[in-house]
Amino acid sequence: MYRTEYPEPQFQRQNWINLNGSWDFSFDDQNSGVKESWFAKHEWDQKIEVPFAYQTKLSGIDDQSEHGVVWYQRKFTTEISDSETTILHFGAVDFTTDVWLDGQHIGSHSGGHTSFSFDISEYLDQKEEHVLTVRAEDPVRDEELTRGKQNWTGESAGIWYTNTTGIWQTVWLERKPVTRLANVKYFPDVDHGSIKITGEIDNFVAGTEVTATIKFEGKQVAKLSVYPEEKSFEIGVNLLGKHIFRIGYHNEGWLWSPEHPHLFTVDFTTTAPDATPDQVSSYFGMRKIHTAKGMVYLNNRPYYQKLVLDQGYWPDSLLTAPEDEAFKKDIKLAKEMGFNGARLHQKVEDPRFLYWADQLGFITWGECAAAPVFTNKAEITLYKEWTEIVERDFNHPSIVTWVPVNESWGVPQVQIDRQQQHFTQALYHLVHSLDPTRLVQSNDGWAQTETDICAVHNYAHGAKDDKDTYDYYTETLSSWEKIIRNPPVWDIFAEGFSYQGQPILLTEFGGIGYNKQDATKGWGYTGAQSDEEYVSEYQRIMDAVSQSHCLNGIVYTQLADTEQEVNGLLTVDHEPKVDPKLIKKANEFFIRSFVETPQKDVEIEDILDNELDR
């Protein structure tokens, strides 16, 4: 089994070769492979199924022991011509990658969660067969690496899971014309009904034409052409025209939302004089996200986000989905349970997941894996990864919020340390500078500095018979003042920072542990021993949340059981623990509470005055 679908459906070409499948493989525990020139000659002792990490069952190796350096090799054939270039793509390789082609080193990449590529045209000749060699280094105990939920002790325990080392997303070749479209970015303007498209051209030559044909539900709505004077270009069109008021406010029209995930398709043709045209298929959604009066607005309407925490792990393949259908299934099940999105937790998710979120209508919060410690190396790594994350995933309408830091991971003294506070502020401004179209949450959970959303984590809801704790939980959620001033663990804002009227979301809570296979194994924040008790406990916690009229959204922990953490709504095999309709019923109850008494009457000036009086 290996992944066969096109890896980047937001920017798709037809002329590509999937390099997933069986590769030669070896551990390099002595780190001698470079010195011994394994890229030139080596006796390979294992086979591995790419793109699955060696720690997984689907890799064919299924070895969870520590191996900090691994090597891969496979052969491939491809046509070459003077009118085309050949690009080698890697979806993601954890953590540091070196690549050789026919024994020649062609490049390196550092960072375990983002995509990268190399133009290998100059390394190809008329050989019938080429040899591709990859070395990946991922030292388990290096705490300066951004590893997220992957453990750095060599053992899966608590909220830390089995490591993923090496290639874990698709590898592919792509043949493209020499002059070609390098990238595009979409800037939808819902208020005026227009779309601005910016882009860049690789190997630009004078006289190159870029044409964009925009369609909605198969019907052409615009066709734009431009002859750029340099490699960068910008085009725009008013899509909704004089109907913007009717379309934008009186029905869902052409706008993207979880309830109505309307998408526009775009076919780009880039043609240089006397050259083969480059053709790219893409899409975008007309969607606006902003905050005002203590609420999040989607397409200029107050919108309550019912999100679920998604770790993105599978039992037989860890961070790599076993198949494309697994992404689609998770999203559909979440929606069946009454959720309209997910906070993607400590993982940069595969573009195939984001594609299905766009298509099916599913809000996502994009997050990056954290390093456990605060050092200059860890800082620089995170800056680099966030630049690559935003660049790759900018065009997905489903992403509405970026989360650079979670629960002070990697910034353990941010509550009082000005340097670490500067770092979270720098990340906040870096991401905003790269992406002006989304919200940014600075430190999800507590000790926040500058942020667009006040995100609070609170698991202090106690067990069913723990009335004192439950009363405390209910009382704490009753008003914004009590949420901010009575945190269960750390202060919600770091020293020197205070609540400025941002929307308040309960972005981690719940976590009911229920292992249907073996009730003696695994853990959760509370527990249940039967389906009936599980549903009752879920309803009890949601009842408490529903009584709060100051919350603008929730993120329930979590979508699926992950190794020893059994507090998922789905089992470790991603099957519902109970009838999804029962979960949906509980979710609908507290949404009605919000709709009936929204926070519209809370004026931000009053909030700030009260906070200053404190």
Per-residue pLDDT of 467-505, as tens digits, reads 888 888 999 998 889 999 888 888 999 999 999 999 999
Question: What tens digit of pLDDT does each residue of 129-163 get?
Answer: 999 999 999 999 999 999 999 998 888 999 999 99
- Checking if the pLDDT of 98 tops 80, the result is yes
What pLDDT shows up at residue 249?
44
Across the range 414-443, mean pLDDT stands at: 97
- Checking if the pLDDT of 202 tops 80, the result is yes
Question: What tens digit of pLDDT does each residue of 210-240 get?
Answer: 999 999 999 999 999 999 999 999 999 998 7
DSSP 537-552: HHHHHHHHHHT-SSEE
Cα separation, 48 vs 58, whole angstroms: 9
Within 8 A by CB and 6+ apart from 110, the residues are 95, 96, 97, 381, 384
Mean pLDDT of the chain: 92
DSSP 218-259: TEEEEEEEE--SSSEEEEEEESSGGGHHIIIIIS-TTBB-SS
- Checking if the pLDDT of 519 tops 50, the result is yes
What pLDDT shows up at residue 402?
98
- Checking if the pLDDT of 254 tops 80, the result is yes
What pLDDT shows up at residue 245?
44
Residue carrying structure tokens 């500067």: 422
pLDDT band at 49 (very low <50, low <70, confident <90, very high): very high
pLDDT band at 2 (very low <50, low <70, confident <90, very high): confident
Positions of E strands within 485-533: 504-510, 512-513, 526-527
Across the range 427-443, mean pLDDT stands at: 97
What pLDDT shows up at residue 128?
82
pLDDT band at 604 (very low <50, low <70, confident <90, very high): very low
- Residues found in the chain: 614
The region of weakest confidence among 88-102, 117-131, 180-194 is 117-131
CATH 2.60.120.260 matches 11-177? yes
Within 8 A by CB and 6+ apart from 233, the residues are 198, 199, 200, 201, 210, 226
Cα separation, 103 vs 37, whole angstroms: 8
Contact 282, 11 (CB under 8 A): yes
Q: Note the pTM of the prediction, 2 decimals.
A: 0.94
What pLDDT shows up at residue 315?
97
What pLDDT shows up at residue 241?
67
Within 8 A by CB and 6+ apart from 79, the residues are 175
What pLDDT shows up at residue 594?
54
- Checking if the pLDDT of 247 tops 60, the result is no
CATH 3.40.190.10 matches 180-274? no
Pairing mode, strands 363-367 and 399-403: parallel
What pLDDT shows up at residue 82?
85
- Checking if the pLDDT of 243 tops 70, the result is no
The percent of residues above 90 in pLDDT, for the chain, comes to: 83
CATH of domain 289-613: 3.20.20.80
What pLDDT shows up at residue 455?
97
What pLDDT shows up at residue 134?
98
What pLDDT shows up at residue 292?
96
The percent of residues above 70 in pLDDT, for the chain, comes to: 94
What pLDDT shows up at residue 161?
95
Cα separation, 219 vs 534, whole angstroms: 48
Nearest to 607 by CA among 290, 293, 303, 291: 293
The region of weakest confidence among 122-126, 168-172, 428-432 is 122-126
The region of weakest confidence among 40-49, 109-118, 146-155, 272-281 is 146-155
Question: What tens digit of pLDDT does each residue of 314-353 get?
Answer: 999 999 999 999 999 999 999 999 999 999 999 999 999 9
What pLDDT shows up at residue 371?
93
pLDDT band at 464 (very low <50, low <70, confident <90, very high): confident
495 three-state secondary structure: coil
What residue ranges do the domains of the chain occupy? Answer: 11-177, 180-274, 289-613
pLDDT band at 246 (very low <50, low <70, confident <90, very high): very low
Across the range 189-201, mean pLDDT stands at: 95
